[in-house]
Every structure is written in structure tokens, then in C-alpha cells.
Structure 1
Amino acid sequence: MLVERYRPILYLQYFLLLIDIFMNSFIELLRFENVILLVLFVIQDVCIIFAVIVVFLLFFNTFIFQAGLVNILINKFRLPISVTFIYFGLNVGLHVWEMTLRWDEPNRYIWDTTGFIPLFVIQRTSAVLYYHFYKRTALKLGDPRFYQDSEWIRREFEKRR
């Protein structure tokens, strides 16, 4: 019942992750035209925003949130939320910098720019963390315990008092 209802949402989340992985892997090959590169960067950033919106919509549907125990959700998912926002910030920063460097010359060699390679490496490393934590969060939010009253929620509530 709940698992069947959650499956399309999980597939949507996986699809958004696959778009991001594809963009991070192959966008460099499509740099021959500035407008194409800009559109792809915007699509990648919008997919990250949609992924965050889907997670927060799932949060809002949980029994914990509806019972007013938002602190439990925040504490349980603090790291994945933080990693997602850090990754999004690094992504936007890298995209803006890359478009600034390439705007006049799309095929320009930009890898000799001071600071660009460290930002690129940090962004790609945070991408791996984002993929891991986002997938783990998506799978955790499929757990039926989040959508019904249970003993562990009562214990968590008692700890908070």
C-alpha cells in the first residue's frame, strides 16, 4: 500500500539524480556553444532544486511532521540537508565561474585559472556525497514507520521533553 504509493516518487528522485550525474559527467563535451552550456547548467541546478522540493514534500507527509515533531526530522536528516545545500552552492558557484571564463570563447582552455581546479574537485567530491546522502534519504523516507504512529516516535518525543 504505502510502498506502492512511494515507488513513483522514488523513481522520480532517482531520475533527478541521474540527470545530475549525467550533467556532471558529460557537460564538458557540450561546451561548443555558450547558450547550450548555460541551459544545461540551469537544468542541472533546477533538478537539484526539484530534488530538494521532493524531499521536503515527503517530510511534510510524514506522521512526525503532522504531529508537530519537526525537530525529530531535522535532527535525523540534518547532514543530508546540509550536504545538499552545500552541493547546490558549489554547483552554482562553479557554473557561474565557468560561464564567466568561457563566455567570450566557448572552447577556451580554462584549467590554468587559479582556483578553478580546486573548486571543480571540491564540487565533484561534494557531488558524490550528495548522491550518497540523497539516495539514502530517499530510501529512508520510504520507510512506513515515518507515516504512522509508532513506539520509536514516542520514545524520540519523550527524549525531547
Structure 2
Amino acid sequence: MLVSRYQPILYLQYFLLVLDLVFNSFNEMLRFENVILLVLYVIQDVCIVFAVIVVFLLFFNTFIFQAGLVNILVNKFRVAISVTFIYFILCVALHVWGMTLRWDDPNIYIWDVTGYLVLHVFQRTVAVLYYYYYKRTALKLGDPRFYQDSEWIRKEFERRR
């Protein structure tokens, strides 16, 4: 893909990652009003879905996908796709549980609920993996080898037969 064409997409992907990081970092500071927190959670979840859509649109744009060799592409990015979907599920679960716990009283202390604390720590740990694999995938999809016929694609195809 041309650098001038891929650069705005890469910036969009970085923006979505930074936005998610900001939401994860500062959402507890905005818990004084349930509606504000709910809107931020919805925006964060929509941004994650949008980030996945951007990656899949890049997949659809590759030569490998257009040649019908989807299994090569899926195998190459299997971990990144899995981590992204696990992260999304953990975010939604954490957001729903957190809003359920503090809907009646936004200032209630919820950190003594063991399951919620475990989910929170697990979600934040998977978030680090998500940031790493998403950025790695975004950078790998900028490689021109994915957008033209090349020898490594033929070798991969022959190896998978």
C-alpha cells in the first residue's frame, strides 16, 4: 500500500488506541455522574468495534484476501484477532458490572467486591496485550508485501496445500 494512502489509516488506528488508553486510565475519575460514565463506556466500546472494523477493512484490501487466500491472513493474525475479541468481551463485562454496582450510588466503594476486582485487573492486563498486538497488526498491515503478488505468498500457499 502506498505510504501516503496508509499513513492516515495508521494515524486513525493510533488515535483509537490512545483514546482507549485514556478511557481506561481516567474513567474512574468521572464516576460522580452515572450518565457521563455510561456514555464514556459506550464510546470506548464503539471505538474498539471501530478499530476492529478498520483492521478487517485493511485485511479485505490485501492481495492475499483478494486472491482468496484468507486462511494465510487469518493464521498470520490469529493471536491479534483473538486478543482483540477477548479484550472487547472483558471491557463490556467490566462496564456492565461496574454500572450495575454503582448505578444507585455513583460514589459507592466497589473495590471490595472480589469478582469485580479480579475482572478489573484481568481486563487491564489484557488491555496491554491488546495495545501491543493491535499496534503490531497495524504496522504489519502497512507492509507492501501484503498488497502485491510475491514469492512468500506463493510459498505460503504451497506449504498450506
TM-score (norm 2): 0.99
Q: Identify the residue that residue 140 of structure 1 maps to in structure 2.
A: 140
Question: How does 1:24-39 map onto structure 2 within 5 Å?
Answer: 24-39=24-39
Q: Identify the residue that residue 4 of structure 1 maps to in structure 2.
A: 4
Work out the number of aligned pairs and report it.
161
Question: 2:129 aligned with 1:129, yes or no?
Answer: yes
Q: Identify the residue that residue 103 of structure 2 maps to in structure 1.
A: 103
Q: Which structure 2 segments of 5+ residues have no match?
A: none
Q: Identify the residue that residue 73 of structure 1 maps to in structure 2.
A: 73
How much identity, in percent, do the aligned residues show?
A: 81
Q: Deviations 1:39-76 (Å, cap 9, x if unpaired)?
A: 00000000000000000000000000000000000000
SS in 2 for 1:99: helix
Q: CA deviation at 1:4?
A: 1.2
SS in 2 for 1:68: coil
Alpha-carbon separation, structure 1, partners of 2:72 and 2:114: 43
Alpha-carbon separation, structure 2, partners of 1:153 and 1:66: 12
Q: CA deviation at 1:37?
A: 0.3
Q: CA deviation at 1:3?
A: 1.1
Question: 2:86 aligned with 1:53, yes or no?
Answer: no
Q: Identify the residue that residue 14 of structure 2 maps to in structure 1.
A: 14
Q: Which structure 1 segments of 5+ residues have no match?
A: none
Alpha-carbon separation, structure 2, partners of 1:146 and 1:62: 5
Alpha-carbon separation, structure 1, partners of 2:115 and 2:71: 38
TM-score (norm 1): 0.99
